[in-house]
Every structure is written in C-alpha cells, then in structure tokens.
Amino acid sequence: MNEIPGALAPSIEAALMSRRFRGFLPVVIDVECGGFNPATDALLEIAAVLIDMDSSGRLKRGATHSFHVQPFPGARLDPAALLVTGIDPHHPLRPALPERDALQRVFREVRHAQRMYACRRAILVGHNAAFDLAFLNAALARTDMKRSPFHPFSSFDTATLAGAALGQTVLAKAAAVAGIDWDSSSAHSAAYDAERTAELFCHVCNLLRGAYREADERACAFGWRDAPPGEPGEPGEPL
C-alpha cells in the first residue's frame, strides 16, 4: 500500500538533507524482474522508499510507493526468477501498470521529495544498486522517457556500506546484525526489500554521523563549504 507524503519538511531539515549528500536526495529503489538481463527481461515490480531527515540530522525511512508493472512486449520471463519472486505476471487480479505509467508515478513522488528537501537531484540507493539502476535505465530507454530525477550512473550500494560498517553483505544478515526485523516470507517483494534496505541505509548513515561532522568541519576549513545551517550568522551552502 502506498503511503501519503506528509507536510513539507521545515527549512532546517531541508538544509541539513541537501547538505548531507551534496544536493543529492537518496531514494531507495528495488525492482523485481523476470530475469537478470535488463535489456531483455521484464520489469515486474518497482518500489521507491523515500528517506527523511529530522532536525538533528538523523535519517529515517519515509513513505513507500510501490507498483506492479506489466511486462513489455516481447519481454523474457525466466521461470526460475518467477519462482523466487512468487510473481504471476498474468494473474487476472494483478493490478499492473504499463512501464511508463509506473515510472511516472514513482518520479512524481521523488520530485515532490526533492522539492521538500531542496535537493537538485535524486540518487538511487539499492542493495546491489547496479542491478536496480540498470533495470531502471533500461526501462527509461524502452519508454523513451527523456527526464529522470535520478543520477544516470551514480548510486549508493547498501551491500558495500553494510559490508564496511557491519561485516555483512547479504541484506537479511546485515539487517539482523543491525537489529532490523526481517521476515523471510515477505522477502523478494519490491516494497518489503526496499523498506528494509532503507532502514539499513539510515542505520549505517546514522552510525557515521560523528565521522561526517568531522569531515564537514574539515571541508569548511578548506573553504569548500560554508558553516552548517543553524549556526548564528552563517548561511547554509548554496546548491
């Protein structure tokens, strides 16, 4: 079920978020597909989970937007992949949308969040993010969509982040050691995996808040940035 975004973030949250990732807004994307080849295999589900920030600079999971997607004409559907995901692409009660429609709905929510947090662009967060970004970019090319809110090749990979911070690269194991609930029976749903990935991303980033503050202070000393927002008499960094 899609959640309805709340009110616009207050200015301090927007200033902190836009500063934290250099004007990029992290958005978790998870896709479930009919195989592993983005050029030939169907995109069957896409979920986007927004990332919010509070006035202390801590990240937290935001709204989830998830859509079933119709296989594009001629798409390959690998039976082994469908067995893992449990998706029946041809089920008569499956509320699937055409690829272009699903992407437009996701992008609408992402752009709204960009405006909330004064960020100039979104950046994809994923567990093994290259996979999700490849399928997203392939769908963009197929549907001839010219404008995407996401950076076309950069991403944040929670498999890498969790491996460095927690010593685990498998999503279920990384979630377990981070103290995040994991239900194996719900895994391989785009919305569920994206929500757990979002919680993992927030957990690792919050662990690193002290290191980030030290680095931000050094960046200010180098003259790369203005003082952080909220300090008396000092402007925030312009985008």
Report the C-alpha gap between 125 and 163 in whole angstroms.
Answer: 15
What is residue 234's predicted lDDT score, i.e. its pLDDT? 36
What is residue 132's predicted lDDT score, i.e. its pLDDT? 98
Of 161 and 226, more confident: 161
Contacts of 234 (CB under 8 A, 6+ apart): 226, 227, 228
pLDDT tens figures, 85-106? 999 999 999 999 999 999 999 9
Q: Which candidate in 65, 68, 188, 203 is catalytic?
A: 188
Q: Calculate what percentage of the chain has a pLDDT beyond 90.
A: 88
Active site residue 90: no
Mean pLDDT across 48-68:
97
- Indicate the pLDDT class of residue 228, thresholds 50, 70 and 90: confident
pLDDT value at 4 more than 50 = no
What is residue 238's predicted lDDT score, i.e. its pLDDT? 35
The DSSP code sequence of the chain is -PPPP-SPPPHHHHHHHHHHTTTEEEEEEEEEESSS-TTTBPEEEEEEEEEEE-TTS-EEEEEEEEEEEPPPTT-B--HHHHHHHT--TT-TT--EE-HHHHHHHHHHHHHHHHHHTT-SEEEEEETTHHHHHHHHHHHHHHTT----SEEEEEEEEHHHHHHHHHS--SHHHHHHHTT----GGGTT-HHHHHHHHHHHHHHHHHHTHHHHHHHHHHHHHTTSSPPPTTSTT-PPPP-
pLDDT value at 13 more than 50 = yes
pLDDT tens figures, 139-153? 999 999 989 999 999
pLDDT value at 10 more than 80 = no
The pTM for the full model equals: 0.91
pLDDT tens figures, 110-130? 999 999 999 999 999 999 999
